[in-house]
Structure 1
Amino acid sequence: MTSLGISTILRYKEFTEWTDTLHEVHESIWLQPIAEKKASVGEIISHLKNWDTYLISTIIPAIKNGQGMVFPDFNSFNEKAYNYARSGISKDRLLDEFKQTRLGLVDILLANPDLAAKHVTANGVETCPHTGTPYSLLYIIHEFNDHDNHHKSQILTVI
């Protein structure tokens, strides 16, 4: 794996340092939508954890088996995460689960650099239609870093 690949993965890991600060978020805003028709802070963290779990449980095994990456319908997938956040799980437990999942995923990626960098399809497509970059799990992590930062910006507007 290139140094750029390693830095991408380490950036993914570093996000947990920021999410650790969310233990201080007041309970009254944890499950309040950040804006009209938007998710809450808790729902966003659950959403991020759900995607990391999906990479560990579905995407990585598929790549190991020589298959491409297949991503589910985003809306129903995300709704499951939002429901989990509203299920009664405590803020601290959800944040801890997110961190454990993220760190576990990072460990897998760093231990399997060839797997992370292998070119594979994403929902049958070989390259990103926006950038022309060949798909790989590492490319998905790069995209997820941007995704994390998008959600961080949203959360920062309410805390």
Structure 2
Amino acid sequence: MDKEQIVKRKLLLTEWAKKLYSIPDEVWFKPFNQGTWGTADVISHFISWDQFLIENRLPFLLREESFPAMVFDSELINKSASEYARSGISKENLLSEFILIRKSLVSLIELLPLATFKRPYPLKKDISISEYFIGLINHDLKHKEQIDEFLNSYY
């Protein structure tokens, strides 16, 4: 997958997300299964990880610098995302925030030179930066399908 396709696919999720504005609030927060996330949690999850990339990955890729040494807890990031989704923020504001942050992320990806996509990903030398982004796209699609299946079974 080339840079143009990566940008397009990352941005496509914003168009899909616009359809979620019409979900009733009782469905917006309803878990997919007992003890799992609901749609609101997943959208907040997208926001948290996009923000992580914006702050901790893309600036370093743009400057062709090594990533800073850091310890992060993905479980804590995901838990915080779920808490944020349920903090009282409206569905409309959460969706708008996701769309804005995803567009910001895509804008930064667009700034990366083509050659960057062929380089090894700094933290996993066995994959390229392009393959790293493909993995992120697949992750997006997994969650999108999860939401779509839930909504299709609900209605």
TM-score, normalised by the number of residues in structure 1 = 0.83
CA 1:105–1:116: 2 relative to 1, 3 Å:
farther
Looking at secondary structure, tell me which structure has more strand per residue: 2
Q: Which residue of 2 aligns with 1:126?
A: 125
* 1:52-84 deviations in Å (ceiling 9; x for gaps): 110001112333261147673221111111111
Instruction: Note if 1:142 corresponds to 2:134.
Output: yes
* 1:107-156 deviations in Å (ceiling 9; x for gaps): 1111223585243322xx311xxxxxx242x3322111111111111111
Q: Aligned-residue CA RMSD in angstroms?
A: 2.0
Does the aligned pair in 2 maintain the 1:12–1:145 contact within 8 Å? yes
* 1:7-46 deviations in Å (ceiling 9; x for gaps): 1221110111111100011111111111122111000000
CA apart distance, 1:103: 0.6
In 2, the alpha carbon distance for the partners of 1:115 and 1:75 equals 33
Does the aligned pair in 2 maintain the 1:109–1:115 contact within 8 Å? no
- Percent sequence identity over matched residues? 27
Does the aligned pair in 2 maintain the 1:46–1:85 contact within 8 Å? yes
CA 1:39–1:46: 2 relative to 1, 3 Å:
same
Does the aligned pair in 2 maintain the 1:67–1:120 contact within 8 Å? no
TM-score, normalised by the number of residues in structure 2 = 0.85
Aligned residues: 148
CA 1:71–1:52: 2 relative to 1, 3 Å:
farther
Q: Which residue of 2 aligns with 1:75?
A: 75
CA 1:116–1:15: 2 relative to 1, 3 Å:
farther
- Give structure 1 regions of 4+ aligned residues with deviation exceeding 6 angstroms: none
Greater shift in the superposed pair: 77-86 or 28-37: 28-37
SS at match of 1:39: coil
Does the aligned pair in 2 maintain the 1:9–1:141 contact within 8 Å? no
Does the aligned pair in 2 maintain the 1:49–1:98 contact within 8 Å? yes
Residue 120 of structure 2 aligns with an amino acid whose one-letter code is H
Q: Give the unaligned 5+ runs of structure 2.
A: none
